[in-house]
A = this chain, B = another copy of it.
Amino acid sequence: MLSTQASVARPASPATVPSPSMEAGRQRQGRLWSNLKEVCDLLHIPAACTIATEELLFQHVQFKTGQRIHTIGQPFDTLYIVNSGFLKTVLIDEFGNEQVLSFPMKGDMLGVDGIHTRHYSSEAVALSDCDLILLPFKKLTALGRIHLELENMMYGVMSRELVREQAMIGMLGALSAEARVARFLVSLAERFAQMGYSSKLFNLRMTRHEIGSYLGLTLETVSRTLSAFNEIGLISVDQRTIGIKDAEALKTLRRLPPSRARARQQATAKGKAGAEPAAPAQLLASA
């Protein structure tokens, strides 16, 4: 039933309490610790980093593809920041169906939904090998009272997450299938650009099914839409490799013009003369 078989999720490297000998050495053990400044940088929060940068260290943990970071209902005590890798977060409905909520990647925070009820309300799964930074929540809030930029960071990140979800709601509520897929590609491209990768050519880390779930569509619709974009020359598609050819068009696309093929087909089906071979590309909405 689960497309990605999530194993019972022990982190690849166990999250042990730091031994006295390594407390000050964040470079040891294959770079297992980050300081406050690095955390802030990762979150794109301007860190007017003050003093004592080396005494505030946060541990890293690695997860392998398919492993679960946390599950629904599990007691909450720590937040995570993605340092590298790709994940998905999902809701599971009463029939066991997954609903993808987000595809966190570098710089994103995980687990915020657990604060309120003290239990995670969603499930996070690694779509690739991942390196995450652990932020024990109690420790974090305590530190926030001393290091104001940390506190600001927390509020900022939570607010940002909220705004993102609002945008998602707007998209699900108002946009056509094509527009959703187009915007999804654009936002992925932008994320990759932010991370220093190519925004013109990248690999999808998720299946069509997962994309569909995320966008409120079926996998077939996602596949068809990608094919259609490919036909018009907006993108190139080869399995999970996507090339962005016309980012501007994707950004503003609302509905697809009937393709040559489809237009012809419809015209003949209705017995009408195919007077105009192809409608002028009316890619923008009228209202």
Listed in ascending order, the chain A residues whose CB lies under 8 Å from chain B are 91, 93, 95, 97, 99, 101, 112-117, 121-122, 141, 145, 151, 154-163, 165-170, 172-174, 213-216, 285, 287
4 additional A-B residue pairs with CB within 8 Å, beyond A121-B166, A165-B166: A91-B166, A113-B162, A141-B155, A165-B165
State which of B117, B170, B172 has its C-beta within 8 Å of the C-beta of A173.
B172
Task: Take A97-B174, A173-B172, A173-B216 as given contacts and tell me if A112 and B159 are in contact as well, using a CB distance cutoff of 8 Å.
Answer: yes
**Is A99 a contact of B170 with CB atoms below 8 Å?**
yes
Task: Take A116-B159, A156-B116, A161-B162 as given contacts and tell me if A91 and B151 are in contact as well, using a CB distance cutoff of 8 Å.
Answer: no
Among A99, A151, A173, the one with the most B-chain Cβ atoms within 10 Å of its Cβ is A173
- Residue on B with the closest CB to A91? B170
Task: Take A121-B166, A169-B99 as given contacts and tell me if A113 and B159 are in contact as well, using a CB distance cutoff of 8 Å.
Answer: yes
State which of B115, B117, B172, B287 has its C-beta within 8 Å of the C-beta of A172.
B172
**Top 5 A-B residue pairs of the complex, sorted by shortest distance between their CB atoms:** A115-B159, A116-B159, A173-B216, A172-B172, A165-B165
State which of B101, B158, B161, B166 has its C-beta within 8 Å of the C-beta of A101.
B166
Contacts of A114 in B (CB 8 A): 159
Q: Tell me the bound Cα distance from A107 to B199 in angstroms.
A: 43
- Minimal beta-carbon separation of A110 from chain B (angstroms): 12
- Minimal beta-carbon separation of A166 from chain B (angstroms): 6
Q: Tell me the bound Cα distance from A214 to B174 in angstroms.
A: 10
Q: Tell me the bound Cα distance from A162 to B115 in angstroms.
A: 10
**Is A287 a contact of B97 with CB atoms below 8 Å?**
yes
Q: Tell me the bound Cα distance from A97 to B175 in angstroms.
A: 12
- Residue on B with the closest CB to A252? B94
- Residue on B with the closest CB to A146? B145
Contacts of A166 in B (CB 8 A): 91, 101, 113, 121-122, 165
Contacts of A115 in B (CB 8 A): 155-156, 158-159
Task: Take A173-B99, A216-B173 as given contacts and tell me if A151 and B162 are in contact as well, using a CB distance cutoff of 8 Å.
Answer: no
State which of B93, B122, B170 has its C-beta within 8 Å of the C-beta of A174.
B93
Task: Take A115-B156, A151-B141 as given contacts and tell me if A99 and B174 are in contact as well, using a CB distance cutoff of 8 Å.
Answer: yes
Q: Tell me the bound Cα distance from A116 to B152 in angstroms.
A: 9
**Is B154 a contact of A101 with CB atoms below 8 Å?**
no
Contacts of A159 in B (CB 8 A): 112-116, 158
- Residue on B with the closest CB to A92? B170
17 residue pairs from A and B, CB less than 8 Å apart? A91-B170, A95-B287, A97-B174, A101-B166, A113-B163, A113-B166, A115-B159, A116-B160, A116-B162, A116-B163, A121-B163, A122-B166, A141-B155, A145-B145, A145-B151, A165-B169, A173-B213
